[in-house]
C-alpha cells in the first residue's frame, strides 16, 4: 500500500526527491496503488520503486529512472516514458496503451500480459525484453528500434518501418493449438473490485479468483483480454468496499415513492454517516450522507449495469471517481455536477484510451462523451 510520506516527498519536486533517494539508497519506496494521474515526474529516480497498480495515466515520466521498478498492473495509458530507463522493470499486466516510449531503455523488462497497443517505441532499446503471446502489441508506432544494447542491432538497418512492420517484428508466435484453454466469453457484467474501482470482467463460467496482490496468473486468466485483466484498483480518494447484501428485516424508512433506506434515520432524513438507499428502479446507493444528501464517498449502482464509485456532493458526482459503462468501458478522473469535468481518461474496452481535459461530459477538442448516453441520477427522496 502506498506510503503517504513518499507522496508528500514527491510533491516537493525532482531535486528534493532525488537528493533523498541518494541519501537513503537502502529504501525502496512503496507507491503501489498511488494516484499519480497526470503528474510531472520527469527526471525522478524511481529505480526499484514499487508502483504496482499505480495510476500513471497521462503522467510525464520523461528521462525518469525506473530501472528495476515494479509497474505490474499499472494504469499508464498515454503516459510519457520518452528517454526513461526501464531496464529490468516489471511491466507485466500493465496498461501502456498509447504511451510514449521513444528512445526509452526497455532492456530486460518483463512485459507478459501487458498492453502496448498503439504505443510509440521509436528508437527504444528492446534488448532482452520479455514478451509472450499475451502481450498486446497491436498498431505499434515507431520509425526504428534497437534489439541490442548501446545502439546495436538497429531494426530496420536503414530507413523506417512501414506500417504494421514493427508489430510483426515484435509479436511472439501464437501458442500451439491446445496449449492454452481459452474460456468461452458469454457476456460482460460489472463487478466491484475491492479498493473502490468498478471494473468489468468477462463472465466465463469459470471459478476465477481476482487477486490484487499476486504476480502469478493462471493460463485462463492470461487468456482474457487486457481489459478483463485490469483487475487492480486505482488508488482514488474514496476506497469503497463492495456493496454488501441488503440487511434482512432492517429497513429504517420506506418513502412514498417506494425507495427504501437502510441506516440511521433522524428527523425525516438519513443521518450523517453511511447508509444504503434502494430506489424503485433498482438503482442503489451505498455510501456517506450529509444533511440528508449523498455527500462524501460512495458507490452508485444503476440497474442497467452502469456504476460510479467516488466522491459526491449534494447528491451529485463531484470530485474524483470512476464511471463504468455496461460494456466495461470507463472514465477515471474528475467530475462536477454528474458530468466528467476536469482532467480524466476514458479507457475503451480494447485497452486503448483518450486522456485530456473534459468539460460538461465531453473531451475538449473532440466529440467523445464519457457518459455515452443519458445519465439519470435520482435525487435523494424527500419523504
Tens of pLDDT, residue by residue over 197-228, are 323 222 222 222 222 333 333 333 333 333 33
Per the structure, the count of domains in the chain is 2
Of 150, 174, 198, which residue sits at a domain end? 174
Average pLDDT, the chain: 80
Give yes or no: residues 380 and 304 share one domain.
yes
Give yes or no: residues 227 and 166 share one domain.
no
Q: Tell me how far apart the alpha carbons of residues 44 and 46 are, in angstroms, rounded to a whole number.
A: 6
Give yes or no: residues 3 and 130 share one domain.
yes
Of 145, 174, 203, which residue sits at a domain end? 174
Burial grade of 97 (CB within 10 A; 0-12, 13-18, 19 or more): buried
Give yes or no: residues 253 and 139 share one domain.
no
Has residue 343 got a pLDDT over 80?
yes
Residues 6+ apart with CB under 8 A from 247: 262
Is the pTM value of this prediction over 0.85?
Answer: no
User: Residue 359 forms beta bridges with which residues?
Assistant: 362
Give yes or no: residues 341 and 226 share one domain.
yes
* Kind and range of the H or E run holding 221: helix 219-222
Per-residue pLDDT, 172: 85
Model confidence over 223-245: pLDDT tens digits? Answer: 333 333 333 334 467 767 778 88
* Kind and range of the H or E run holding 169: helix 165-170
Of 174, 205, 227, which residue sits at a domain end? 174
Model confidence over 273-325: pLDDT tens digits? Answer: 899 999 998 899 999 999 999 998 999 999 888 999 989 999 999 988 999 88
Cell of 187: 457476456
Q: Tell me how far apart the alpha carbons of residues 104 and 83 are, in angstroms, rounded to a whole number.
A: 4
* Kind and range of the H or E run holding 93: none
Model confidence over 114-156: pLDDT tens digits? Answer: 999 899 999 999 999 999 988 999 999 999 999 999 999 999 9
Has residue 194 got a pLDDT over 60?
no
Q: Tell me how far apart the alpha carbons of residues 165 and 230 are, in angstroms, rounded to a whole number.
A: 28
Give yes or no: residues 113 and 141 share one domain.
yes
User: What CATH number corresponds to the domain at position 302?
Assistant: 2.20.110.10
Burial grade of 55 (CB within 10 A; 0-12, 13-18, 19 or more): buried
Give yes or no: residues 189 and 143 share one domain.
no
Give yes or no: residues 145 and 271 share one domain.
no
Q: Compute the C-alpha angle 76/79/81, nearest 5°.
A: 110
Model confidence over 70-92: pLDDT tens digits? Answer: 999 888 888 999 999 999 999 99
Give yes or no: residues 98 and 207 share one domain.
no
Residue 75 burial (CB count, 10 A): 29
Give yes or no: residues 15 and 85 share one domain.
yes
* Kind and range of the H or E run holding 335: strand 330-336
Q: Give the range of the structural domain holding residue 78, as residue numbers without chain letter.
A: 1-174
Give yes or no: residues 152 and 182 share one domain.
no
Give yes or no: residues 183 and 318 share one domain.
yes
Amino acid at each position: 500500500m502506498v506510503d503517504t510520506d513518499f507522496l508528500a516527498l514527491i510533491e516537493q519536486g525532482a531535486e528534493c526527491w532525488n537528493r533523498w533517494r541518494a541519501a537513503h539508497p537502502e529504501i525502496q519506496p512503496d507507491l503501489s496503488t498511488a494516484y499519480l494521474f497526470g503528474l510531472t515526474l520527469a527526471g525522478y529516480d524511481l529505480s526499484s520503486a514499487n508502483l504496482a497498480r499505480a495510476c500513471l495515466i497521462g503522467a510525464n515520466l520523461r528521462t525518469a529512472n525506473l530501472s528495476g521498478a515494479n509497474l505490474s498492473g499499472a494504469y499508464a495509458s498515454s503516459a510519457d516514458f520518452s528517454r526513461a530507463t526501464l531496464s529490468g522493470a516489471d511491466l507485466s499486466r500493465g496498461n501502456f496503451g498509447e504511451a510514449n516510449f521513444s528512445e526509452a531503455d526497455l532492456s530486460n523488462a518483463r512485459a507478459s500480459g501487458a498492453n502496448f497497443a498503439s504505443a510509440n517505441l521509436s528508437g527504444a532499446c528492446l534488448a532482452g525484453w520479455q514478451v509472450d503471446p499475451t502481450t498486446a502489441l497491436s498498431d505499434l508506432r515507431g520509425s526504428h528500434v534497437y534489439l541490442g544494447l548501446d545502439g546495436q542491432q538497429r531494426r530496420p538497418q536503414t530507413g523506417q518501418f512501414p506500417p504494421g512492420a514493427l508489430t510483426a517484428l515484435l509479436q511472439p508466435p501464437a501458442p500451439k493449438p491446445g496449449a492454452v484453454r481459452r474460456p468461452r466469453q458469454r457476456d460482460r457484467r460489472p463487478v466491484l473490485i475491492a479498493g473502490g474501482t468498478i471494473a468489468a470482467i468477462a463472465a466465463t463460467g469459470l471459478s476465477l479468483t481476482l487477486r490484487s496482490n499476486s504476480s502469478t496468473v493462471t493460463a485462463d486468466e492470461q487468456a482474457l483480454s487486457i481489459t478483463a485483466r485490469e483487475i487492480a484498483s486505482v488508488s482514488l480518494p474514496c476506497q469503497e468496499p463492495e456493496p454488501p447484501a441488503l440487511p434482512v428485516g432492517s429497513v429504517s424508512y420506506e418513502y412514498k415513492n417506494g425507495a427504501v433506506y437502510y441506516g440511521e434515520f433522524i428527523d425525516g432524513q438519513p443521518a450523517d454517516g453511511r447508509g444504503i438507499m434502494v430506489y424503485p428502479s433498482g438503482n442503489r446507493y451505498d455510501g456517506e450522507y450529509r444533511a440528508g444528501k449523498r455527500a462524501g464517498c460512495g458507490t452508485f449502482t444503476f440497474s442497467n449495469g452502469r456504476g460510479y464509485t467516488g466522491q459526491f456532493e449534494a447528491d451529485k458526482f463531484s470530485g474524483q471517481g470512476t464511471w463504468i459503462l455496461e460494456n466495461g468501458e470507463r472514465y477515471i478522473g474528475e467530475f462536477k455536477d454528474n458530468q466528467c469535468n476536469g482532467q480524466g481518461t476514458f479507457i475503451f474496452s480494447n485497452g486503448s484510451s483518450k486522456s485530456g481535459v473534459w468539460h460538461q461530459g465531453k473531451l475538449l477538442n473532440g466529440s467523445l462523451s464519457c457518459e455515452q448516453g443519458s445519465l439519470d441520477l435520482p435525487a435523494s427522496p424527500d419523504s
